[in-house]
Structure 1
């Protein structure tokens, strides 16, 4: 079995994630290809797509949200994701059990004795009027009947697990600050959520495996689970195993992949890329060594924005007073520093409220 070292896996991941070359594809197609973008920080997907697409226009993504072509909803790993309407409807039921268990993991004591099916039915009844509600408002509407859990536990269980909802615009629009207002996902998208197959074949799980490998492969089953949060996919993997090719990584793990998917030469140059907080290029793997050193792994779950240099996490970045501030995690060569500064200036102009070229990039060494 062929062994792929971390550099080979790095270049494959960059290609799949549209980070090796910016892609000239419609925004909605990019969102679909990536299996969505993590989006609990509403402005971060704009940076993620800017780093991946040619001539990305943020207003196009805002328009897709307004026209209900893409939607903000709780999905993979119980986090808010920006996904296409089709994927939200197709994938939600397959994630229901995981969403419920993850919320219970935080509020098991508060929700002890609560009939979650009754709570879900009551939540849907309250939201049937299509009036957008915050999590707190929804919890208050049901607290008379279920006072014990408290509004936080009640609201999170309803909105993040039991009742499939969409977070409505203006939340998530470009350069817009807005609170979270929820409506039923099926109502917002005008179609019922796809039902799970009852014959045990799990076509949704099989589709998730293929979609994951297209955007993240080659990868191990543990990486797939880290991306979606689902534990019950071994059967789906087994069902399509004959379609897949296999490799090993340097640690001996078996990696799965689609036979025709890109696996560039490990020596392919990788440009500097700025990634937003919680980007799935990092969080979509259990073993992240292909893209980030073990010493810096915590950055990927701490909400740090990172810079890729030669395809690996080499710096963090923030914005202060219109200036992109880059803090290297290792020494930069002169060429690295120049490339980071050039890409940082382009990012600063993208994020700026005007077309001024007075935005500067500051880089400091750790």
Structure 2
């Protein structure tokens, strides 16, 4: 392999990065992968709420049905657990046991934000007691707060519960997360839920390779943004001999797998309806490969985040199911052909996710005027 330096590496423009990322994310064309294989390939799905993983897979997989994912949750082949960026992700059972130990340093740092509420608390003792509590029977966060407050009555109850969540790999037990029959969050340890011990932490090097397969080409900062870890540069340097490098338009070095797909920048990218917090929009330090600068931040308003849709591979507006209709709000003017394609994709999404309901489709206002 010919070695390149950052100064001589080929430049990948925004559209080239966009198409490569969409391909890795199974968004250029729907994939025949199984649900479990897709969750594994994507290194998990953002799952702060119940519905987003389902919509994320509906946009990516050919023939997906929500019941498929619910069955995997029920069989404990996938779980909902705090991993990347301190948020709930849906992972395969194997990944939940290996990736959570990898990101544990970030969870340990998170505890520092709650130190004032944890004065006098022995965190190792807290971890032991919390594990006993949740393995005796799944506990809600309220129940966990109350039980831990008996041991440390002078501590802040919320800080105690957050510390337990950071110290322990807690999973949300079913029926939480199941389509059409979810319930409130109840927690137990991942080891207890799966009936097997934690795996050794996934190696940084192996995780870099998986990240690039799902999100590349990417910079060191991109990966750090995705996983919430710092000091990932040494892993990239160890892997450099087996990777290829590029530059973005600003000169930032990008790493990639030699044989990973990098489609022609003019490859057609069909419209896609994505859920709020989809990892496509959250897993790079530089999001311009998907989010044009003029619309940055427009999927948020105060404490509300809206579901995005893509046109020609880029963020083009938001959508919401409201009052019996799929309401689509473009950020700019769509051509007649684009409106037709977006409408067709919206109808397909509704058929996949809501087979027994009849919804109108209309273009209108989703984000209220401030």
Task: Tell me the TM-score normalised to structure 2 length.
Answer: 0.92
Shift of 1:353: 5.6
- Which whole-Å deviations, capped at 9, do the CAs of 1:60-116 have from their partners, x for residues lacking one? 1000001111000000000000000011111111111201212432x2321244322
Partner of 2:178: 173
- Which whole-Å deviations, capped at 9, do the CAs of 1:176-212 have from their partners, x for residues lacking one? 231001111101112111234xxxxxx6111110110
Q: Which runs of 5+ in 2 are unaligned?
A: 1-8
Deviating more after overlay: 250-259 vs 229-238: 229-238
Partner of 2:6: none
* Kept in 1: contact 2:65–2:352 (CA 8 A): no
| Equivalent of residue 143 in structure 2, options 121, 131, 137 | 137
* Kept in 1: contact 2:176–2:184 (CA 8 A): yes
- Which whole-Å deviations, capped at 9, do the CAs of 1:105-161 have from their partners, x for residues lacking one? 2x23212443222211221122332x11101111211112212332222112212x1
* Kept in 2: contact 1:22–1:53 (CA 8 A): yes
Q: State whether structure 2 residue 150 is matched by structure 1 residue 148.
A: no
| Equivalent of residue 131 in structure 2, options 124, 131, 143 | 124
Q: What SS does the aligned partner of 1:191 have?
A: coil
Matches within 5 A, 1:4-23: 4-23=12-31
Matches within 5 A, 1:310-349: 310-349=312-351
Matches within 5 A, 1:1-366: 1-105=9-113, 107-129=114-136, 131-159=137-165, 161-196=166-201, 204-299=203-298, 303-352=305-354, 354=356, 356=358, 359-364=359-364
- Which whole-Å deviations, capped at 9, do the CAs of 1:306-348 have from their partners, x for residues lacking one? 0100000001001113311100101111011111111112222
Q: What SS does the aligned partner of 1:215 have?
A: helix
Q: What SS does the aligned partner of 1:298 have?
A: coil
Structure 1 residues 232, 193: closer, same or farther in 2, change over 3 A?
Answer: farther
CA distance, structure 1, for counterparts of residue 155 and residue 14 of structure 2: 47
* Kept in 2: contact 1:323–1:348 (CA 8 A): no
CA distance, structure 2, for counterparts of residue 22 and residue 103 of structure 1: 40
Shift of 1:288: 0.2
CA distance, structure 1, for counterparts of residue 79 and residue 14 of structure 2: 34
Q: Which runs of 5+ in 1 are unaligned?
A: 197-202
Shift of 1:360: 1.4
CA distance, structure 2, for counterparts of residue 236 and residue 125 of structure 1: 36
CA distance, structure 2, for counterparts of residue 30 and residue 78 of structure 1: 22
CA distance, structure 2, for counterparts of residue 207 and residue 218 of structure 1: 16
- Large movers: runs of 4+ above 3 Å: 299-302
* Kept in 2: contact 1:282–1:300 (CA 8 A): no
Structure 1 residues 142, 210: closer, same or farther in 2, change over 3 A?
Answer: same
CA distance, structure 2, for counterparts of residue 78 and residue 190 of structure 1: 24
Q: What SS does the aligned partner of 1:314 have?
A: strand
CA distance, structure 2, for counterparts of residue 121 and residue 295 of structure 1: 49
Task: Tell me the TM-score normalised to structure 1 length.
Answer: 0.93
Q: What SS does the aligned partner of 1:4 have?
A: coil
CA RMSD of aligned residues (A): 1.6
Q: What SS does the aligned partner of 1:265 have?
A: coil
CA distance, structure 1, for counterparts of residue 119 and residue 243 of structure 2: 43
- Which whole-Å deviations, capped at 9, do the CAs of 1:29-79 have from their partners, x for residues lacking one? 000000100001111110000000001011110000011110000000000
